[in-house]
Amino acid sequence: MYKKYIYAISLALLMITLSTGCENEVGTKEFPPYFTTKPSYFEGEEVSLLTFDADGLNPEGKKETILKVVTTIPWVAKSNADWLKISHTSGEYNTNIIVTAQVNESASSRSTTIVLTPEVLDPITVTVTQSGM
């Protein structure tokens, strides 16, 4: 009869030990702060310039340009130009920001910036230029 109690107590202690040991490791390790506009964590260069023609098309002939944010920390994005639209103004993890430019009916080119500001690292500024008609 005592063998059943000893077995049950041993099993309970083993379960408590295993669950306590795992709790300290799973889900509590933090990644170091990382924030970039590179296409991926491991390769590529920071995106620092986006261009559009007067009709609002990027060099590939598309209306939308994807600006990839690869990060482990919260961030905000801001542009003061009324002719430029960005799909996301904040986020916490990796995000594709869709950037679109309205038609530039002026003969003059124009430019603005998108400032991406992470919670704890230096901001990244992306210059956006658009040619005139």
Mind listing the pLDDT tens digit for each residue in 73-88? 999 999 999 999 999 9
Query: Across-strand partners of 110?
Result: 130
Spatial separation of the C-alpha atoms in residues 38 and 41, rounded to whole Å? 7
Which class in CATH covers the domain with range 35-130?
A: mainly beta
What's residue 24's pLDDT? 44
- Three-state SS across 88-132? CCEECCCEEEEEEECCCCCCCCEEEEEEEEECCCCCEEEEEEECC
For every one of its 133 residues, what pLDDT tens digit does the chain have, with 9 covering 90 and above? 667 767 667 766 666 666 655 444 433 456 788 899 987 667 788 999 999 999 999 999 999 999 999 998 999 999 999 999 999 999 988 999 999 999 999 999 999 999 999 999 999 999 999 999 9
**Cα(3)–Cα(6) distance, integer angstroms:** 5
- Rounded to an integer, what distance in angstroms lies between the CA atom of residue 26 and that of residue 8? 27
3-state DSSP of 36-60: ECCCCCCCCCCCCEEEECCCCCCCC
Of the candidates 124, 76, 130, 78, the residue with the CA atom closest to the CA atom of residue 101: 130
